[in-house]
Amino acid sequence: MFVKFNSKDERRRLYDNSTAFIELQYCKMPKKTKVKKILSIRHAKYWENDSLYIYVDNIDLFVEYYGKILNDCTYDNPKERLFDINGYHYYNENDVEKIINKIIEEKPKDYDKFLKWLEVAKLYNGFYFVGI
């Protein structure tokens, strides 16, 4: 379900130039950065090599296993914290810890890949969910 690429060329070659992916991307902004700036799309860098991807064919499966686990996120509107596959969400350090704990408890499909990736997210300022 989760895919990593070493380069944009590898993604293009393996998936016939498709851009139909959800991207889970590390937030590399300093930890003291204000949420408004973190959520500003103009600061986003897409197709990072250390991102984790979910191809369009696996999105339903991803939502089935991880939708509830990822339900508590930060949008442009911080009062609204519901997961949406079309959205651009941010998960801070505390969110990452909660997600890790839920994954360890529930052990959903392919959890080991996601868990390993999330452990690295703790070294950054959380992560972004970049929807379709």
pLDDT in tens, the chain (132 residues): 998 888 878 777 777 767 788 899 999 998 888 888 887 766 677 778 899 999 888 989 999 999 888 886 665 555 555 566 777 788 899 999 999 999 999 999 999 999 999 999 999 999 988 877
CA pair distance 75, 90, nearest whole angstrom: 7
The CA distance from 59 to 21, in Å, is 8
**pLDDT value of position 33:** 87
Look up residue 15 and give its amino acid: Y
Angle, CA of 115, 119 and 120, to the nearest 5°: 125
Joined tokens for residue 25: 């991307």
Q: How many domains does the chain have?
A: 1
Residues spanned by the domain of 96: 2-130
Q: Are residues 2 and 110 in contact, defined by beta-carbon separation less than 8 angstroms?
A: yes
